[in-house]
């Protein structure tokens, strides 16, 4: 399942992963699945990927690299929605 998920990002120009929000995960799931492993599998699938644990740091990276007409998609659980909001505020 992880390899299939990693391959789903194949057409993206760049993928940034934050730490995985693990509210309902078991201790086993938390120990075996983390953002570093996801980054590694995604990189192995040929995707340009960067693991940035903190959401505030993702906003910084995006604000320095996003260009007019770029599409930025945020998805996930927890506070990941704040990335889109904070990015818009920073770019205004």
What is the rounded distance in angstroms from the CA atom of residue 41 to the CA atom of residue 49? 10
Share of the chain above pLDDT 90, in %: 65
50 sits in which H/E element: strand 49-51
For 49, the 3-state DSSP assignment is strand
Contact 40, 79 (CB under 8 A): no
What pTM did the predictor assign?
A: 0.84
Q: Please check the confidence at residue 24 and state whether its pLDDT lies above 70.
A: no
What is the rounded distance in angstroms from the CA atom of residue 17 to the CA atom of residue 54? 9
Indicate the domain borders of the chain.
2-91
What is the rounded distance in angstroms from the CA atom of residue 7 to the CA atom of residue 23? 25
**What digits encode the pLDDT tens for the residues 36-51?**
999 999 999 999 999 9
**Domain formed by 2-91, architecture:** Alpha-Beta Complex (3.90)
What is the rounded distance in angstroms from the CA atom of residue 25 to the CA atom of residue 22? 5
């Amino acid at each position: 399942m992880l390899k299939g998920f990693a391959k789903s990002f194949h057409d993206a120009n760049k993928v940034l992963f934050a730490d995985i929000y693990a509210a309902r995960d078991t201790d086993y799931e938390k120990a075996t699945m983390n953002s570093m492993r996801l980054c590694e599998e995604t990189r192995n699938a040929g995707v340009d990927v960067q693991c940035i644990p903190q959401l505030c740091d993702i906003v910084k990276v995006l604000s320095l690299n996003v260009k007019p007409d770029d599409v930025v998609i945020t998805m996930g659980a927890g506070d990941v929605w704040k990335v889109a909001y904070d990015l818009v505020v920073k770019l205004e």
